[in-house]
């Protein structure tokens, strides 16, 4: 049988328990305080890190924007510099082309001879004879335009018209000029008889 606890013993045990509880509470507080402090420090560190990261991200965003703006400005300047160069090149090319045109030799116009005009007139007379036409009329200006438009060869044209006249042919328009060289010179050729026995209208 255990001995009965006395009042003193019970009081002592109660004091011991109270002391232990008080010690446990103090230990818990001491342990909790460093933990709370550690948590607070960790949160502060996290906040600082977050702020730094945000500042760095903002700086990075601004930096590319500035770089892009700088690139665009540089590109525009480069284009502006290239544009005058192109215009200058175009002007130089035009100058070269003009020089090349001047350097080209002038093409000499080969005028038809009196004989060639005579052959043309005789061919026209022969064609009219084949179609049973009585006569044809040839004007110097019209013939020159038909054969050599824009060429100054009226003298050869008029001489050929006069050389092809046979007896019986006549002037429709007889120019006042002594040599009869005029655009108005017009002759009627009779084509019913083209025999070589026919005499020339006049000897020149």
More confident residue, 173 or 89: 173
Burial of 153 (0-12, 13-18, 19+ CB in 10 A): middle
Nearest to 181 by CA among 204, 199, 149, 147: 204
Tens digit of each residue's pLDDT (9 = 90 or more) over 13-43 = 676 667 566 655 655 555 545 544 545 555 5
| Alpha-helix residue ranges (DSSP H) falling in 131-188 | 140-147, 154-163
3-state secondary structure of 138: strand
Mean pLDDT of the chain: 73
In this prediction, residues 64-79 reach a mean pLDDT of 53
Instruction: Give the three-state DSSP class for 169.
Output: strand
Q: Above 80 in pLDDT, residue 178? A: yes
Whole-prediction pTM: 0.48
């Amino acid at each position: 049988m255990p001995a009965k606890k006395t009042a003193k013993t019970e009081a002592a045990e109660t004091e011991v328990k109270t002391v232990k509880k008080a010690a446990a509470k103090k230990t818990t507080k001491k342990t909790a305080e460093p933990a709370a402090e550690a948590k607070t420090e960790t949160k502060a560190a996290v906040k600082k890190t977050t702020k730094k990261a945000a500042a760095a991200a903002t700086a990075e965003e601004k930096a590319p924007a500035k770089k892009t703006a700088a690139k665009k400005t540089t590109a525009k300047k480069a284009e502006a510099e290239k544009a005058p160069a192109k215009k200058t090149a175009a002007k130089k090319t035009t100058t070269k082309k003009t020089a090349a045109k001047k350097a080209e030799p002038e093409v000499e116009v080969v005028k038809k001879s009196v004989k060639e005009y005579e052959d043309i007139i005789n061919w026209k007379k022969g064609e009219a004879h084949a179609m049973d036409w009585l006569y044809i009329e040839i004007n110097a200006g019209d013939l020159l335009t038909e054969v050599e438009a824009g060429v100054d060869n009226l003298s050869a044209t008029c001489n050929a018209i006069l050389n092809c006249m046979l007896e019986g042919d006549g002037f429709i328009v007889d120019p006042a000029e002594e040599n009869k060289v005029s655009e108005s010179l017009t002759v009627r050729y009779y084509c019913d008889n083209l025999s070589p026995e026919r005499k020339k209208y006049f000897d020149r």
